[in-house]
Structure 1
């Protein structure tokens, strides 16, 4: 079995939400009790942020971010954070920080979700404040707390 190439330390965070500001959270398969929005690394350094966001949403939830009833928005926010030690082995030696670009994806109420079982074991729709409180990642919680501002723009 061939080893996977190291992950690129550039990723997206996609806050998926309804017009009523209910937020989709996913429970990590490799860390039970760790809830988060969709996240994922670029496949190449040149991959555009939006393409990464669309791909990761499709892979992790089965949602087509480009569907007419959906609206993907680049919030223009980037977080740089230290990679948790438990996940550093996925990156090249010496890589300790990741740059995360934040997106929002508005979907209609009742949007079906199809989880990638290797990545997530459960999903839940929660009111935005409750969702922020459940996130294990401070940058994810902060992005959700920005949701009311971003949801009223554009």
Structure 2
């Protein structure tokens, strides 16, 4: 049985501490590509908040209940990277990404899914934005202080 196509609706979750340190994770399929948690809906009727909760748990082992998950009310629309187009239905070339923030206590343990990520690091938010490979992810990280007020 073949895998179903990915749904071009996803979440970006900026995981951070009250002190504005941001968690970045390194993708196994793109070494050196540091990013926040991202992931697509599993099915069309999955609420974006549920997608965010599921993806955070799958990718970092963090239970969102330990922190405060906030919908930032931002969306990014971008062209899907050519190396990932095969995961989507024929003709799908753009993805819509909804941005959330998750504030967790400093020292929150991280357990990576080794099939998806090889390493993680907590960085001050400006350094995290500079380290991110995705411009939209970096922009979201730079907006973090606005959402902490």
Give the TM-score taking structure 2 as reference length. Answer: 0.98
> 1:98, CA displacement in angstroms?
0.2
Determine the C-alpha separation between the residues in 2 that align with 1:62 and 1:28: 15
Partner of 1:122: 119
> 1:3, CA displacement in angstroms?
1.8
Partner of 1:146: 143
Determine the C-alpha separation between the residues in 1 that align with 2:6 and 2:48: 15
Determine the C-alpha separation between the residues in 1 that align with 2:65 and 2:88: 30
- Structure 1 residue 112 corresponds to structure 2 residue 109: yes
Determine the C-alpha separation between the residues in 1 that align with 2:135 and 2:91: 23
Partner of 1:79: 76
Determine the C-alpha separation between the residues in 2 that align with 1:54 and 1:106: 13
- CA-atom RMSD in angstroms: 0.6
Aligned partner of residue 72 in structure 1, secondary structure: strand
Q: Per-residue CA shift, 1:34-75, capped at 9, x if unaligned? A: 0000000001111101000000000000000023xx000000
5+ residue gaps, structure 1, are none
Partner of 1:34: 33
Give the TM-score taking structure 1 as reference length. Answer: 0.95
Residue-pair matches, total: 149
5+ residue gaps, structure 2, are none
- Structure 1 residue 66 corresponds to structure 2 residue 68: no
Determine the C-alpha separation between the residues in 1 that align with 2:94 and 2:88: 10
Determine the C-alpha separation between the residues in 2 that align with 1:100 and 1:37: 12
> 1:78, CA displacement in angstroms?
0.6
> 1:129, CA displacement in angstroms?
0.4
